[in-house]
Amino acid sequence: MKPTSPHPSGPPFAMSGGHVRLDGREVLRGVDLVVEPGDLLAVLGPNGAGKSTLVKALLGLRPLAAGRTEIFGRPAARFRDWKRVGYVPQRLPMGGGVPATVREVVASGRVARQSRWRPSSAADRAAVERALDAVGLAGRARDSAHLLSGGQQQRVLIARALAGEPEVFVMDEPTAGVDAASQAALAGTLRGLAEEGRTVVLVAHELGPLEPLITRTVVLEHGRVADETRRTAPAPSLAATRESRESAA
Ligand SMILES: Nc1ncnc2c1ncn2[C@@H]1O[C@H](COP(=O)(O)OP(=O)(O)OP(=O)(O)O)[C@@H](O)[C@H]1O
């Protein structure tokens, strides 16, 4: 994987005063959150607190009723550089379409890097194989993804995001209903991402084996940030980046 961009145009995510209304109910109620490069941030909180809504809003998948949110310095609605962001949804969308193999699902993570003018290359194929290896599914690459266990399907989704080699990962409950082997595989993957200085935002009920890797937690309750803890300082170079940005603001 390539290292994190040395010239980020802004923090991976910055939300200020974020409100989201769903079915007439305020589900997020004035959230301020800046995700710094290199953060391994866990969004915690009880059922219905708004955790999934927060990460979807950070990605621009839930429009804000008030406030603003930016991805790498651009308003989420106008952000286009999706190869910088990898999203791991809660579960594999299994429609009635043709069953895809594990490799095909993972290869779809390269789409933001391809175009009509630049079809699949050796680099794309190598990234897909690395991602399959990283989650321990290289031996299942030809299997139908929908025949795998819930934990293995979760690993396929993580591999799909890894294959895109983004700078920042957003994972919605990657540990929910996942077997111990898949949780351990995820912890190993996160350790590798942390060592590379990648940024991860993940939603979780319980951290389990991920606990020692998390550098920062945000606890949501009733759509507000009820508690925020930084466990580890960001790397000095990243802290310096933030200071210079703050002094420029
Ligand atoms: N599409 C939707 N339309 C209407 N209400 C929604 C929608 N999605 C979520 N909600 C409601 O918004 C609230 C927050 O939901 P959200 O999924 O963000 O919470 P959460 O903290 O992720 O919960 P969980 O831990 O159970 O996944 C809940 O009360 C939920 O019922």
ipTM of predicted assembly, 2 dp = 0.95
* Residue at 6 is within a domain: no
- Report CA(97)–ligand 1 centroid distance (Å): 27
Structural domains in the chain (count): 1
Pocket of ligand 1 (CB under 6 A): 22-23, 27, 45, 47-53
Instruction: Say whether pLDDT at 149 is over 90.
Output: no
Reported pTM: 0.85
Q: Residue whose CA is closest, atom 3 of ligand 1?
A: 22
* Residue at 45 is within a domain: yes
Task: Summarize the confidence of residues 184-205 as an average pLDDT.
Answer: 91
∠ Cα 54 57 60 (to 5°):
160
* Residue at 55 is within a domain: yes
- Confirm if 171 and 213 have CB atoms less than 8 A apart: no
Q: What is the pLDDT of residue 233?
A: 54
Confidence grade of residue 249 (pLDDT, cut at 50, 70, 90): very low
* Residue at 150 is within a domain: yes
Instruction: Please state the atom number of ligand 1 nearest to the C-alpha of residue 203.
Output: 22
Mutate to test the pocket of ligand 1, among 19, 51, 56, 62 (most ligand atoms within 8 A of CB): 51
* Sign of CA pseudo-dihedral 202, 206, 210, 213: positive
Task: Summarize the confidence of residues 5-20 as an average pLDDT.
Answer: 84
* Residue at 185 is within a domain: yes
* Residue at 199 is within a domain: yes
Confidence grade of residue 242 (pLDDT, cut at 50, 70, 90): very low
Which CATH number does the domain housing residue 179 bear?
3.40.50.300
* Residue at 223 is within a domain: yes
- Confirm if 58 and 69 have CB atoms less than 8 A apart: yes
Q: Containing domain of residue 141, as a range?
A: 13-92+100-248
Q: What is the pLDDT of residue 156?
A: 92
Instruction: Say whether pLDDT at 248 is over 60.
Output: no
Q: How many DSSP H helices and E strands does the chain contain?
A: 6, 10
Q: Residue whose CA is closest, atom 24 of ligand 1?
A: 47
* Residue at 7 is within a domain: no
Segment 25-59, tens digit of pLDDT: 999 999 999 999 999 999 999 999 999 999 999 99
CA-based max dimension of the chain = 53
Instruction: Say whether pLDDT at 17 is over 90.
Output: yes
Percent with pLDDT over 90 in the chain: 60
- Confirm if 86 and 169 have CB atoms less than 8 A apart: yes
Of 11, 81, 56, the residue nearest 64 (C-alpha): 56
Instruction: Say whether pLDDT at 6 is over 60.
Output: no
